[in-house]
Amino acid sequence: MKKFNIVIAGGGIAGLASAEIFARSGYKVLLLEKNPKLCMEASGSHQKWFHFGSLYSVFSSPRFFQAMLKNIQYLLKYYQGFEGMNLVINREGNPYIEMRENSWFQAQHLIYLLTSTRHPDFFPKKASYLLEYIPKLHQRLFWKYIITKQFLVRHYNLYKYNWSSQKSLNDLLKVEWLQQICLPEVNFSYEQTNLNYDFFQSIKSYDCPMNTENILSDLLCSFLSHDGELWLNATYETYQCKSNKKLIITRNREIVETEKLILAIGRNLNRYLKSSVKLCTVASPLLVVYPPVCSENFVKLTPFVSKTINHIKHNYNGIPYSLIGNGYSSTVEKLKMEEVKKSLYDNAIGTFSGIDSAEISEIYFGYKTEVSKSSKNRGYDSCIKLIDRNVLGVIPGKFSLGFSLAVDIFKIITDKQPSLKIHYSSNSSAKSLISETKHEAIINQYFQQKK
Ligand SMILES: Cc1cc2nc3c(=O)[nH]c(=O)nc-3n(C[C@H](O)[C@H](O)[C@H](O)COP(=O)(O)OP(=O)(O)OC[C@H]3O[C@@H](n4cnc5c(N)ncnc54)[C@H](O)[C@@H]3O)c2cc1C
């Protein structure tokens, strides 16, 4: 029987990043994935949006913003050894994206459009003026004096923070409410949208699109180069205890022995967790449009969730296209899903011209698993839970957080620091073991059929 130090079930970003960090640090690791390729589920449905923290700075609780910032710190420390990891710190201590072959990140930062409280959405409609007046007024004041203010102050702190210093990240979270902040506005081509310049303030963020195919293939190459073992089409079924070891049993009745087991099985994790932890899976729609309707990467931020919208321009094998999302997601019930699908489509039609006549305008759903009690109470950060002795369950919360999740699991299990030395040889066949994303598959399929 084969023996391992660590067996990881689930080949999404959580499983792969964890497998890589143990393998590079000298542990004997087996990664099991039930599908024929890696990242065919949530880690193949996302928008490729690398979260630096901007989106999460709007929450009054600093929890999610803090999680994203810690992730940046870990990325800079533990992933420098990868050629493609092109987020670097300049002499002034500011992060920037350096162009490299196999780059992980694109230097096309997302612009945040903060909706002004002069926008008509903040005012009651004539028909229900009296009923809506107080809630709308409350919303207006809260947005103007709390949320927007907090967003601007945290960004101001972010721009002046020196990432080479050893200063605590907590300095970035502090909001001096009386502090007068004036952040430079960036140019934004409003003419490519139906948005009215008068109602928005544009702020450049450090968020950017990520080349997940390069990230995943680098992690996989490092994992394989450090003698990691990958079994595809291998479904983890259960484990049995054998003194202080675990026997891992797959659906095909293969049995291996391990010291530790990590379950990184996304939405399937729920059935293994104790009732004290509640995972919730939400369905989020994304709209794929070809030809692209806009060249800007941006997020329209408003307190009205169904009116937020984001747009990232992607490119697959030389074909540019738009990927549009909003903040609206639902439970996995059919009726609710139809409702959010319609909401996204209506919002997109109202924001951009040309969607209804585009060659491709297709909405797909991805399934996000989060630590939260309900689909209304969202949880965007990572979670590592002890399921049994030597058995951990993990959820990254975001693809972007795969890095800090892996480092944290390593530290929890070994009580040591992961190795900073990464030796790997690029292996062109690694990419063939990784699934394309759903939006790339939609583009690919359309052009294959057209041939
Ligand atoms: C629509 C959408 C948009 C998103 N956009 C972004 C974004 O732009 N940026 C961002 O940072 N995050 C984004 N996210 C979140 C991100 O995609 C997820 O948080 C992340 O991919 C989850 O990774 P995971 O490894 O936990 O899950 P998964 O990718 O689902 O991986 C779990 C793996 O376990 C395997 N598995 C399950 N059961 C078994 C078993 N018994 N045995 C073996 N294998 C098993 C599955 O096949 C799967 O490959 C988005 C998510 C969605 C749905």
Q: Which residue has the tokens 């729920």?
A: 270
Asked if residue 148 is part of any domain, the answer here is: no
β-bridge pairing 3-9 and 255-263 = parallel
Q: Is 270 in the pocket of ligand 1 (CB under 6 A)?
A: no
At 130 the pLDDT is 74
Asked if residue 162 is part of any domain, the answer here is: no
Q: How far is the CA of 42 from the centre of ligand 1 (A)?
A: 3
Neighbours of 398 (CB within 10 A): 25
CA-to-CA separations, 132 to 127, 343, 374, 400, in angstroms, rounded = 10, 22, 27, 39
Pick from 430, 441, 425, 422: which is nearest to 80 by CA? 422
Q: Is 366 in the pocket of ligand 1 (CB under 6 A)?
A: yes
Q: Is 15 in the pocket of ligand 1 (CB under 6 A)?
A: yes
Residue 133 C-alpha from the chain's centroid: 37
Asked if residue 302 is part of any domain, the answer here is: no
At 276 the pLDDT is 65
Total domains in the chain come to 1
Q: Is 10 in the pocket of ligand 1 (CB under 6 A)?
A: yes
Asked if residue 390 is part of any domain, the answer here is: yes
At 82 the pLDDT is 96
Rounded to the nearest 5 degrees, what angle is found at the Cα of 212, between the Cα atoms of 211 and 215?
100
At 329 the pLDDT is 84
At 396 the pLDDT is 96
Q: Is 310 in the pocket of ligand 1 (CB under 6 A)?
A: no
At 335 the pLDDT is 84
Q: Which residue has its alpha carbon closest to ligand 1 atom 4? A: 46
CA–CA gap between residue 408 and residue 391 (Å, rounded):
15
Q: How far is the CA of 12 from the centre of ligand 1 (A)?
A: 5
CA–CA gap between residue 37 and residue 35 (Å, rounded):
5
At 376 the pLDDT is 66
β-bridge pairing 319-325 and 255-263 = unpaired
Asked if residue 429 is part of any domain, the answer here is: yes
At 184 the pLDDT is 84
Asked if residue 169 is part of any domain, the answer here is: no
At 302 the pLDDT is 95
Residue 221 tokens read as 């190459």
Q: Is 119 in the pocket of ligand 1 (CB under 6 A)?
A: no
Q: Which residue has its alpha carbon closest to ligand 1 atom 5? A: 46
Asked if residue 152 is part of any domain, the answer here is: no
Quick check: 97 and 87 in contact, CB under 8 A?
Answer: yes
Q: How far is the CA of 191 from the centre of ligand 1 (A)?
A: 36
At 275 the pLDDT is 67
CA–CA gap between residue 308 and residue 147 (Å, rounded):
15
Residuewise pLDDT in 10s, the chain (451 residues): 999 999 999 999 999 999 999 999 999 999 999 999 999 999 999 999 999 999 999 988 899 999 999 999 999 999 999 999 999 999 999 999 999 989 999 999 999 999 999 999 999 887 677 777 888 888 899 999 899 999 999 999 999 999 999 889 988 888 787 777 888 889 999 999 999 999 999 999 999 999 999 999 999 999 999 999 999 999 999 999 999 999 999 999 999 999 999 999 999 998 887 666 778 899 999 999 999 999 999 999 999 988 999 999 999 999 999 999 998 888 888 889 999 999 999 999 999 999 999 999 999 999 999 887 665 677 888 999 999 999 999 999 999 999 999 999 999 999 999 999 998 888 778 999 999 999 999 999 999 998 8
**Angle subtended by helix axes 212-225 and 13-24, to nearest 10:** 40
Residue 22: which domain range?
A: 3-53+213-277+380-450
For the chain, give percent helix, strand, coil, nearest 5.
35, 25, 40
Grouping H, G, I as helix, E, B as strand and the rest as coil, residue 311 is strand
At 375 the pLDDT is 59
Query: Whole-prediction pTM value?
Result: 0.96
CA–CA gap between residue 296 and residue 179 (Å, rounded):
31
**CATH number, position 250:** 3.50.50.60
Ligand 1 atom nearest to CA at 401: 11
Neighbours of 241 (CB within 10 A): 12
Tell me the sheet residues that pair with 321: 314
Q: How far is the CA of 45 from the centre of ligand 1 (A)?
A: 8
CA–CA gap between residue 25 and residue 412 (Å, rounded):
14
Ligand 1 atom nearest to CA at 370: 19
Asked if residue 104 is part of any domain, the answer here is: no
At 374 the pLDDT is 63
Q: Is 17 in the pocket of ligand 1 (CB under 6 A)?
A: no
Q: Provide the residue count of the chain.
A: 451
Cα-trace Rg, the chain: 23
